[in-house]
């Protein structure tokens, strides 16, 4: 593996089984889909909001539909993918709850990563400065942030339980550090992980 | 050397007309048979030894086979000269590009102005009603006659895009990829309504003579021009029309009469007048009818996805224009949804432009980028398989 691969991409590469059907929601310029196609031989499909990015994906030979994760997931029939990937954008969705359900309607499993508002740096920043935290992971001021639905890891795992989703794996991600497996419900992780990536499936009825 | 022959892209243009004699004619959706059948076509570039680089370009309502060569009537560059040519997304150095005049047309393929073998006179209204499916069946006959088993791509905009969808439904085994630009899987009430205005304008012209104008030695030019004027408005966006003309006058001051005071009037009159020189009124009736009859979902039990159930292996690219109100983006989205439901490999971009439906002929860098990327990656994928 080349060192240039983003930590979260590396983890997704590890989780996805070879030859799987993968939908990347918010695939940007297709970097992840390209990696997955090359290294895992997946059948890749992207959804991306920016037409420039879609054109870049087309040039790479990727199949990408221009659309908005909030609105256009209904493009895809139920259980048409093995994995649906949503990388660090759930907190930017208007309806994260509905989007999560949709991901697991479309795919057998979802790979979702979220920044952790419960990270100690956030808590410390809020406590000492009394202002909305601006950190490495979330650098924008409150009035310019695209992140309209921030949550802590505890909030996220609670929502998964509410939606009847099962967390099959969790990985803690902190910039500059290697990814490490974690206990998704671990109390300490809610302090330690800058962001986290989860492998989700529908809980067996 | 003439200017036409010197034009790049003209160098390797080729073609002519293929004739299918009686007994080998075209079976039509209406149940009739069209024979003998002629299909006029042009090609650009060379077919490679493996016959794997052929791309069929499907033209729109008033287009023809002269996609990238000087038009014999107007003397102007082909309608898709911007896209087809050396260094352009469809490069004849790399691809063998075919474009044929649709059946029912008036540039050499059998149409209502052709001689009906049973009477020895022009068909006129005795010409059978044709469909998009018939146009595609004729193209498939041509492609087969050229010895091509699989097309690297079939591509078209507007009515050409509908033919692309019909290809995917009827001949998926002959396709590697399909590009559908600014089209719809069916004609809407509004689409039909505008076409009906055009047809009524033609039929109201006394020179139309019940479709028999050819034998009378006249042409319903006024009616056809009005039809073109009405249709032309639908090809432009409100914003483009406003930007181009606004309320600008042709001359200083108003005429206080019904001359073309406004530049937009003069423009439309010019569009109408130029059109009648190169188009046949009856062809306009028949081709607009074919478009109105088009409803690909209805052909497949009312479920559009079923039309693509045999096309799962085809790489699709669907493109729409944000300001196109003739075949708006919502129509393309319906196509994309159906393709996804069918499990086909699908890409879709809505290109941001204020140029309206006609943007697919015009300078639209995003369109070029999307086409260039899609064709390059498609050719690469074909070489790998």
- Note whether residue A143 is domain-resident: no
Cis ω for the linkage preceding B36 (within 30 of 0): yes
CB contact under 8 Å between A65 and B348, yes or no, is yes
Tell me the mean pLDDT in the region A28-39: 95
Q: What is the pLDDT of residues A23-32, one digit of tens each?
A: 999 999 999 9
DSSP state of A92: G
Q: What is the pLDDT of residues A77-119, one digit of tens each?
A: 999 999 999 998 999 999 999 999 999 999 999 999 999 999 9
- Can you list the alpha helix ranges (DSSP code H) found in chain A? 7-15, 31-40, 51-59, 96-106, 120-129, 153-162, 189-192
The H or E element containing residue B113 is none
| Nearby residues of B252 by Cβ (< 8 Å), 6 or more positions away | none
The residues with which A22 forms a beta bridge, in sequence order, are: A44, A83
Q: What is the pLDDT of residues B91-140, one digit of tens each?
A: 999 999 999 999 999 999 999 999 999 999 999 999 999 999 999 999 99
| CB distance B49 to B14 below 8 Å | no
The residues with which B43 forms a beta bridge, in sequence order, are: B14, B98
- Domain containing residue A39: 7-117+149-202
Q: Is the ipTM of this complex over 0.90?
A: no
| CATH architecture entry for B3-187+295-384 | 3-Layer(aba) Sandwich (3.40)
- Give the closest-approach CA distance of A51 to chain B in angstroms: 6
Residue in A38, A58, A71 to test binding to B, most B beta-carbons within 10 Å: A58
How confident is the model at residue A59, as a pLDDT? 84
What is the total residue count of chain B? 385
CB contact under 8 Å between B366 and A55, yes or no, is yes
The H or E element containing residue B307 is helix B304-307
| B300 belongs to the catalytic site | no
- Give the closest-approach CA distance of A43 to chain B in angstroms: 9
**Domain range summary for chain B, segments of one domain joined by +:** 3-187+295-384, 191-289
CB contact under 8 Å between B373 and A55, yes or no, is yes
Q: In this structure, how many other beta carbons lie within 10 angstroms of the beta carbon of residue A109? A: 22
Task: For residue A79, list chain B residues with Cβ-Cβ distance below 8 A.
Answer: none
Tokens of residue B348, six digits: 């879709």
Does residue B336 sit at the A interface (CB-CB below 8 Å)? yes
- Give the closest-approach CA distance of A196 to chain B in angstroms: 30
| Nearby residues of B256 by Cβ (< 8 Å), 6 or more positions away | none
Q: Which residue of A has its CA nearest to B341?
A: A77
Cα(A183)–Cα(A100) distance, integer angstroms? 20
- Note whether residue A141 is domain-resident: no
- Note whether residue A89 is domain-resident: yes
Cα(A25)–Cα(A36) distance, integer angstroms? 14
Query: Residue A179: which CATH number?
Result: 3.40.50.150
Residue B4 CB burial class (10 angstroms; 0-12, 13-18, ≥19) = middle
- Note whether residue A129 is domain-resident: no
- Give the closest-approach CA distance of B233 to chain A in angstroms: 27
> Which of these is catalytic: B170, B280, B324, B358?
B324
Does residue A76 sit at the B interface (CB-CB below 8 Å)? yes
Specify the CATH number of the domain B191-289.
1.10.1740.110
In this predicted structure, the answer to whether residue B316 has a pLDDT above a threshold of 60 is yes
Question: Residue B384: pLDDT band by 50, 70, 90 thresholds?
Answer: low
Residue pointed to by tokens 């639209």: B364
| B195 belongs to the catalytic site | no
- Note whether residue A123 is domain-resident: no
How confident is the model at residue A4, as a pLDDT? 60
Does residue B177 sit at the A interface (CB-CB below 8 Å)? no
In this predicted structure, the answer to whether residue B7 has a pLDDT above a threshold of 80 is no
- Note whether residue A127 is domain-resident: no
- Note whether residue A142 is domain-resident: no
Residue B150 CB burial class (10 angstroms; 0-12, 13-18, ≥19) = middle
Give CA separation, B235 vs B132, B181, B194, B232, B355, in Å: 20, 14, 11, 5, 9
- Note whether residue A94 is domain-resident: yes
Domain count, chain A: 1
CB contact under 8 Å between A63 and B345, yes or no, is yes
| CB distance B106 to B114 below 8 Å | no
Tell me the mean pLDDT in the region A117-141: 91
């Amino acid at each position: 593996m080349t060192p240039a691969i983003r930590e979260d991409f590396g983890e997704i590469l590890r989780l996805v089984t070879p030859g799987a059907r993968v939908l990347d929601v918010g695939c940007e310029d297709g970097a992840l889909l390209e990696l997955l196609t090359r290294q895992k031989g997946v059948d890749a499909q992207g959804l991306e909001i920016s037409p420039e990015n879609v054109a870049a994906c087309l040039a790479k030979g990727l199949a990408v539909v221009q659309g908005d994760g909030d609105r256009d997931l209904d493009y895809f029939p139920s259980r048409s993918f093995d994995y649906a990937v949503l990388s660090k954008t759930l907190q930017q969705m208007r309806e994260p709850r509905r989007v999560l359900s949709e991901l697991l309607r479309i795919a057998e499993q979802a790979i979702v990563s979220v920044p952790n508002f419960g990270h100690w740096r956030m808590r410390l920043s809020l406590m000492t400065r009394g202002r909305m935290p601006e950190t490495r992971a979330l650098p924008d001021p409150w009035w310019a942030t695209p992140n309209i639905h921030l949550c802590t890891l505890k909030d996220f795992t609670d929502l998964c339980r509410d939606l009847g989703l099962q967390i099959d794996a969790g990985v803690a991600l902190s910039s500059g550090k290697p990814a490490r497996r974690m206990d998704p419900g671990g109390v300490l992780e809610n302090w330690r992980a800058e962001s986290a990536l989860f492998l989700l499936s529908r809980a067996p009825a | 050397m003439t200017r036409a022959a010197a034009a790049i892209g003209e160098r390797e243009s080729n073609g002519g007309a293929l004739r299918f004699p009686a007994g080998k004619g075209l079976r039509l959706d209406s149940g009739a048979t069209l024979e003998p059948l002629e299909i006029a076509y042009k090609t650009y570039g060379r077919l490679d030894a493996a016959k794997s680089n052929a791309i069929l370009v499907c033209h729109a309502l008033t287009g023809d086979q002269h996609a990238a060569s000087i038009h014999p009537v107007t003397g102007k560059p082909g309608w898709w000269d911007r896209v087809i040519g050396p260094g352009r997304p469809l490069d004849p150095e790399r691809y063998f590009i075919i474009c044929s005049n649709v059946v029912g047309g008036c540039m050499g393929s059998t149409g209502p102005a052709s001689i009906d073998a049973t009477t020895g006179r022009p068909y006129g209204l005795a010409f059978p009603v044709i469909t998009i499916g018939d146009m595609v069946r004729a193209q498939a006959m041509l492609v087969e006659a050229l010895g091509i088993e699989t097309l690297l791509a079939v591509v078209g905009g507007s009515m050409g895009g509908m033919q692309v969808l019909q290809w995917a439904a009827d001949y998926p085994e002959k396709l590697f990829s399909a590009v559908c630009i600014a089209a719809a899987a069916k004609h809407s009430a509004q689409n039909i309504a505008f076409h009906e205005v055009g047809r009524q304008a033609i039929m109201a012209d006394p020179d139309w003579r019940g479709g028999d104008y050819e034998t009378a030695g006249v042409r319903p030019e006024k009616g056809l021009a009005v039809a073109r004027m009405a249709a032309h408005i639908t090809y432009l966006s409100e914003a483009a029309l406003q930007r181009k003309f606004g309320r600008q006058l042709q001359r200083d001051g108003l005429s206080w009469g019904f001359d073309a005071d406004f530049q937009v009037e003069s423009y439309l009159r010019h569009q109408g007048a130029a059109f009648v020189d190169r188009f046949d009124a009856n062809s306009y009736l028949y081709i607009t009818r074919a478009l109105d009859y088009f409803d690909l979902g209805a052909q497949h039990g009312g479920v559009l996805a079923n039309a693509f159930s045999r096309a799962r292996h085809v790489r699709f690219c669907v493109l729409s224009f944000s300001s196109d109100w003739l075949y708006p983006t919502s129509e393309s989205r319906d196509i994309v949804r159906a393709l996804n439901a069918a499990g086909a490999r699908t890409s879709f971009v809505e290109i941001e432009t204020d140029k309206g439906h006609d943007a697919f002929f015009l300078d639209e860098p995003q369109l070029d980028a999307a086409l260039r990327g899609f064709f390059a990656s498609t050719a690469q994928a074909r070489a790998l398989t």
